Amino acid sequence: MTMLACSKQESELPTTYSIPAFDQIQLDNYIPAFEAAVNEQKAEVEAIVNNPEEPTFDNTIVALDRSGMTLDSISGIFFNVLEADGNDEMNAIAEKVYPMLSELSDGIILNDALFQRVKAVYDQREQLGLNPEQMRLVTETYKSFADNGANLPEDKKERLKEINLELSLLSLKFGNNVVAETNACKRFVTDEAQLKGLPESAKAAAAEEAAAAGHPGEWLFTPKRTSFTPVLQYCENRELRKQLLLDYTTRANHNNEFDNKAVIIREMELRIEKANLFGYDNPADYILADCMAKNHQTVDAFLQSVWAPSLEAAKREAAELQKLLDEDLQNGKCQMSNDKSLQPWDWWYYAEKLRKAKYALDEEEIKPYFELNNVRKGAFGVANKLYGLQFEQVYDMPVYNPEVEVFKVTEENGRLVGFLYTDYFPRAGKRPGAWMNNICTQYIDENGVDHRPVIINVGNFNKPTAGNPSLLSMDDVETLFHEFGHALHGLLSKAHYRKLSGTNTPRDFVELPSQFMENYCYEPEVLKTYAFHYQTGEIIPDELIEKINNAGKFNQGFVTTELLSASILDMDFHELTTAEGLDVNAFEKASLEKMGMIDEIIVRYRPTFYNHIFTTGYEAGYYSYTWAAVLDADAFAAFKETGNLFDKATAKRFRHLLEQGGTRDAQELYLEFRGKEADPQNLLRRKGFID
Ligand SMILES: [Zn+2]
């Protein structure tokens, strides 16, 4: 393997790109195309295994990274269309494709002959003269096998399979129990007077639900957020608020067939056993070894550093809300007036009153300043000022839907960076939410040719109608900037290997580039470059900017405390070294007491419905949201400290961090950018907890 040229020459590498052939693929091409591509990768992997030469970095590790190129291009097309413009036929194809793909990946990851070659290279990695990126590729490749037990003796391998199978069934059961309990709980209100304060739209929805459930003329509320949140926020009826909140927070905790406490205990037993198989004391350390945080001590210390000031802020907020409750008690406006202190079911109600009085943001007043095309231009403008990137719309690229727009992204000197597709409007067949996807992954090949990426941003913003453009809410604006941040992470990638390219980074790092961009959309200086009234062209007035920024600080003590308490609870569970004698409710209580949690707030997810950590694979990972927030606030502070949001030297260092993707250790990359560890104070300042 020739050592790679230095970065100066690399910036002059010739570029190439592939155009996703959305226009050429017919529905009935997909299955044969997938079959051929799967067989192609199988043959590529077989060729690596059967190579008569000794295993080398090139003939094994790089060869594996380069395998499956055809499959990647077909997947890139198929799964993007499936998510953004799917239909029944696409779903039927997906049903056939998923098993093909999982069989293929099992066949690779459980292939012992292949693992022995990977291990041979891994074992001699220090002697191979590898550069940091190559070293990272070797260790990451090795780990992807080892994490699946490739390195374990036969009996433990078997046990791992059993554990994984039982865990997958348990997590399914956990999720199903939550759904069952959510659906089973129906609270009917028969007297409209009980709903005083509830907005008409929420009332109408509850009336419809009741009618559908065979109770016409009544109102039905369930522990689904959309159903009970309006009651918590607006309904004067304190007793109803209490019942509905308790319905929500006691789900799967009723000692019936849907109770999740036994499921949790068994999951914890198995997770601890699994961690032990890999030589770890507890599940947290096993999981965190692959993350930026590395171990539970780092996460604990981190959470503690944010917890105390958040709790203090929440206490100040609680005191303010208590005053509003006191007024109601004095005026006789409050039922259950024997309970004079603020309760969890009072928080949303009084917070909403306070918000209206002090922080009200009228979306209708704001929206005319956020016309979609202007906002997108604003985001492009930020990337231009930071990195010199140019965005030119191109009209001759094949797209899967006429609403998709394509931009060619180039450097100041005209060098190709990549292509950005945007697909912003809802349609039948598009899943909800917003996301970024790679359609074609960036990598630099053996001949030094840089294959530039094709990235897509998908959203569900308001569709323009005849005479009315698409106008965004502030949340939408933030979402657009967020996804654009992910897109830049993909677009700027400069990796040699696909496994390490772009957004292929640890889960506690991957949201840094996206959340970093969110900071810009709120800056007055930036708002004035893109927030124009769509009818008059007037730049957004300063009073509105101030309102927007004040609204962002409202109720943050509550929000952060709720989130952090769930993060700490998650860590407490996964730092357990034994599940013997575990009593779930007592454990939760002890954990919250240790935190010093206040009575006015309930942890965001109580254990029996904590899907993130018992169903969806986010165990010992819920801290990531706050971790990324600390990183993004700190990264943005690096710019603010220079007095220039677009400081060239800082932007150059941040761009370098983006370009590296997963080729380097995330913590190392961050330290290189910032010169020191991220300081939580910057997040606390942004939230208004400290000056
Ligand atoms: Zn994101």
Q: For the packed helices 112-123 and 132-146, what is the interaxial angle rounded to 10 degrees?
A: 140
Ramachandran angles phi, psi of 660, nearest 5°: -75, -20
Ramachandran angles phi, psi of 510, nearest 5°: -65, -25
Tokens at residue 664, please?
């380097």
**Average pLDDT score over the chain:** 94
- Give residue for tokens 């991220």: 678
Tokens at residue 267, please?
């999951």
Residue of 57, 40, 14, 117 lying closest to 445 (CA atoms): 14
Q: What is the DSSP letter of 197?
A: T
Tens-place pLDDT, residues 574-628: 999 999 999 999 999 999 999 999 999 999 999 999 999 999 889 999 999 999 9
Tens-place pLDDT, residues 181-209: 999 999 999 999 999 999 998 999 999 99
Tokens at residue 67, please?
């395998």
Residue 677 has pLDDT above 50, yes or no: yes
Give residue 464's Cα distance to chain centre: 28
Residue 368 has pLDDT above 60, yes or no: yes
pLDDT of residue 617: 86
Tokens at residue 615, please?
């169903």
**With contact defined as beta carbons under 8 Å apart, do 281 and 288 qualify?**
no
Tens-place pLDDT, residues 127-148: 999 999 999 999 999 999 998 8
pLDDT of residue 337: 67
CB atoms inside a 10 Å sphere around CB 541: 12
pLDDT of residue 465: 85
Residue 7 has pLDDT above 60, yes or no: no
Say how far apart CA 587 and CA 579 lie, in whole Å: 11
Say how far apart CA 301 and CA 611 lie, in whole Å: 24
Whole-number Å distance, alpha carbon 360 to ligand 1 midpoint, is 27
Q: Write the DSSP assignment of 277-329 as a string of letters.
A: HTT-SSHHHHHHTTSSS-SHHHHHHHHHHHHHHHHHHHHHHHHHHHHHHHHHH
Would you call 415 helix, strand, or coil by DSSP? coil
Tens-place pLDDT, residues 590-602: 999 999 999 999 9
**With contact defined as beta carbons under 8 Å apart, do 263 and 174 qualify?**
yes
pLDDT average, residue stretch 333-339: 73
Residue 10 has pLDDT above 60, yes or no: no
**With contact defined as beta carbons under 8 Å apart, do 488 and 513 qualify?**
yes
Residue of 312, 305, 298 lying closest to 679 (CA atoms): 305
pLDDT of residue 466: 82
Tokens at residue 580, please?
């013997």
Tens-place pLDDT, residues 18-48: 989 898 889 999 999 999 999 999 999 999 9
Q: Write the DSSP assignment of 372-404 as a string of letters.
A: HHHHHHHHHHHHHHHH--EEEEES-S--SSTT-
Residue of 319, 298, 332, 679 lying closest to 508 (CA atoms): 298
CB atoms inside a 10 Å sphere around CB 297: 13
Question: Which CA distances in Å does 259 have to 132, 584, 601, 613, 678?
Answer: 49, 11, 23, 16, 41
pLDDT of residue 313: 96
pLDDT average, residue stretch 375-399: 97
Residue 102 has pLDDT above 90, yes or no: no
Whole-number Å distance, alpha carbon 205 to ligand 1 midpoint, is 31
Confidence of residue 432 (pLDDT cuts 50, 70, 90): confident
Angle at 431 between CA 426 and CA 434, to 5 degrees: 75
**With contact defined as beta carbons under 8 Å apart, do 630 and 683 qualify?**
yes
Residue 8 has pLDDT above 50, yes or no: no
Say how far apart CA 605 and CA 471 lie, in whole Å: 34
C-alpha dihedral sign at 16, 20, 25, 30? positive
pLDDT of residue 5: 34
Tens-place pLDDT, residues 451-473: 999 999 999 998 998 888 999 99
Q: Write the DSSP assignment of 16-28 as a string of letters.
A: E-----TTT--GG
Tens-place pLDDT, residues 406-416: 999 999 999 99
Say how far apart CA 159 and CA 87 lie, in whole Å: 40
Residue 396 has pLDDT above 80, yes or no: yes
CA contacts within 13 A on the Cβ side of 502: 27
Ramachandran angles phi, psi of 136, nearest 5°: -65, -40
Cα Rg for the chain, rounded, in angstroms? Answer: 27
Beta bridge partners of 391: 409
pLDDT of residue 160: 92
Say how far apart CA 354 and CA 361 lie, in whole Å: 12
**With contact defined as beta carbons under 8 Å apart, do 114 and 48 qualify?**
yes
- Give residue for tokens 């050592």: 3
pLDDT of residue 3: 34
Contacts of 215 (CB under 8 A, 6+ apart): 188
Tens-place pLDDT, residues 217-254: 999 999 998 899 999 999 999 999 999 999 999 999 99
pLDDT average, residue stretch 252-274: 98
Q: What is the DSSP letter of 359?
A: I
Would you call 619 helix, strand, or coil by DSSP? coil
Say how far apart CA 49 and CA 417 lie, in whole Å: 36
Whole-number Å distance, alpha carbon 437 to ligand 1 midpoint, is 11
Say how far apart CA 209 and CA 224 lie, in whole Å: 12
Residue 646 has pLDDT above 70, yes or no: yes
Whole-number Å distance, alpha carbon 479 to ligand 1 midpoint, is 9
pLDDT of residue 11: 55
Proportion of the chain in helix, strand, coil states, percent, rounded to 5: 60, 5, 35
Question: Residues 332, 337, 338, 343: what is their CA dihedral angle, to the nearest 10 degrees?
Answer: -150
Whole-number Å distance, alpha carbon 545 to ligand 1 midpoint, is 25
pLDDT of residue 23: 86
Residue 107 has pLDDT above 80, yes or no: yes
pLDDT of residue 607: 98
Whole-number Å distance, alpha carbon 481 to ligand 1 midpoint, is 10
Which protein residues have a CB closer than 5 Å to ligand 1 (ion)? 514
* Strands (E) located in 330-449: 390-394, 405-410, 416-423, 435-440, 443-444
Whole-number Å distance, alpha carbon 387 to ligand 1 midpoint, is 21
pLDDT of residue 9: 46
Whole-number Å distance, alpha carbon 183 to ligand 1 midpoint, is 30
Whole-number Å distance, alpha carbon 486 to ligand 1 midpoint, is 7
Question: Which CA distances in Å does 228 have to 185, 210, 243, 361, 477?
Answer: 12, 14, 10, 23, 27
pLDDT of residue 225: 86
Share of the chain above pLDDT 70, in %: 98
pLDDT of residue 53: 97
Please give the positions annotated as active site.
483
